[in-house]
């Protein structure tokens, strides 16, 4: 795929990202500081999760080596800064594709990696059965995410309110919830499942059935290089096609 882009299209004046990736020998990918199931560094130093798999697929397309990735862990509020500064080639970091981000930042979203929704992690014995039961309570959120805006959009029209308390990292957010300082941890439900698994007694906690938003999680690149954008977009398209083909094979061997 990358060879076709190089041979058949003129190099872009502004970007030339692929040339830089090849000269460096690695794709620089922004990931979270540690969310199970999305991007988490294990004790052996290896990164695993859906977001890291996407980064490896891009590296395989660009360099022929899925392990040729330079991992750049970032806090939620700083996920797009390395792209803007030119210090990263790709952001796959539990990032929601929004009009505001694509309008305000020099980035383009190359495609959706998974669809999710804003959810709530609460203690099983808390008596909380739905979002309305949390009205008036302190809720832990990650700074730089869409969580606080989603809470306002859901509670406000219902004449209810909550107090979002923002923490800079996933670890600090989880700690605030685990300590009892906040009544719930609010985050995309996929990520909450991983955070729940990190608690000492996961069974003592539950993710509410209700999701209060629609979150298309996506990979982002700079907007100055259409060739690199096309490469990343088609990597995602081919991953989806491969999943579909695998499902077909399982259903009709």
**119 touches 215 (CB < 8 A):** no
The pLDDT of residue 40: 92
CA atoms within 13 A on the CB side of 58: 35
E strands, the chain, are 27-32, 40-41, 47-48, 69-74, 90-91, 107-116, 118-123, 138-142, 163-167, 184-188, 205-207, 215-222
In this model, does residue 117 exceed pLDDT 70?
Answer: yes
pLDDT tens across 237-253, in order?
A: 999 998 877 777 777 77
Mean pLDDT of the chain: 91
Residue pointed to by tokens 């007694």: 201
Q: Which residues contact 213 (CB under 8 A, 6 or more apart)?
A: 117, 118, 146, 150, 153, 154
Compute the 3-state secondary structure of the chain and give helix, strand, coil in percent, each to the nearest 5. 40, 25, 35
Closest CA to 31 of 52, 46, 17, 45: 52
The model's confidence at residue 15, banded by pLDDT at 50, 70 and 90, is: low
| CATH number, span 118-207 | 3.40.190.10
Closest CA to 237 of 252, 210, 219, 251: 219
Residue 16 phi/psi, 5° resolution?
55, 40
Q: Which residues contact 214 (CB under 8 A, 6 or more apart)?
A: 115, 117
In this model, does residue 125 exceed pLDDT 90?
Answer: yes
**220 touches 107 (CB < 8 A):** yes
d(CA 95, CA 16): 24
Q: Which residues contact 194 (CB under 8 A, 6 or more apart)?
A: 35, 36, 37, 38, 40
| Residue 13 CB-density burial (10 A; 0-12 exposed, 13-18 middle, 19+ buried) | exposed
Cα angle, residue 64 at apex, residues 95 and 78 outer, rounded to 5°? 20
pLDDT tens across 128-155, in order?
A: 999 999 999 999 999 999 999 999 999 9
The DSSP secondary-structure symbol of 158 reads G
pTM value?
0.83
CATH 3.40.190.10 domain position(s) in the chain = 2-115+215-251, 118-207
**What CATH architecture is 2-115+215-251?**
3-Layer(aba) Sandwich (3.40)
């Amino acid at each position: 795929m990358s060879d076709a882009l190089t041979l058949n299209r003129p190099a872009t004046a502004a970007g030339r990202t692929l040339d830089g990736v090849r000269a460096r020998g690695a794709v620089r990918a922004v990931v979270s500081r540690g969310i199970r199931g999305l991007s988490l560094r294990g004790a052996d130093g290896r990164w695993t999760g859906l977001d890291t798999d996407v980064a490896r697929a891009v590296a395989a397309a660009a360099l022929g080596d899925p392990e040729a990735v330079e991992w750049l862990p970032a806090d939620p509020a700083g996920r797009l800064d390395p792209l803007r500064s030119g210090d990263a080639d790709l952001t796959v970091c539990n990032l929601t594709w929004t009009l505001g981000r694509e309008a305000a930042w020099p980035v383009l979203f190359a495609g959706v990696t998974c669809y999710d929704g804003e959810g709530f992690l609460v203690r099983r014995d808390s008596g909380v059965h739905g979002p309305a039961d949390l009205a008036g309570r302190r809720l832990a959120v990650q700074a730089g995410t869409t969580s606080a805006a989603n809470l306002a959009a859901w509670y406000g029209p219902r004449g209810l309110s909550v107090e979002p308390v923002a923490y800079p990292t996933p670890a600090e957010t989880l700690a605030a919830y685990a300590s009892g300082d906040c009544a719930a941890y609010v985050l995309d439900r996929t990520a909450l499942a991983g955070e729940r698994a990190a608690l000492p007694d996961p069974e003592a906690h539950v993710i509410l059935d209700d999701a209060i938003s629609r979150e298309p999680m996506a990979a982002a690149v700079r907007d100055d290089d259409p060739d690199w954008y096309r490469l990343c977009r088609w990597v995602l398209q081919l991953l989806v096609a491969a999943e579909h083909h695998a499902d077909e094979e399982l259903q009709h061997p």
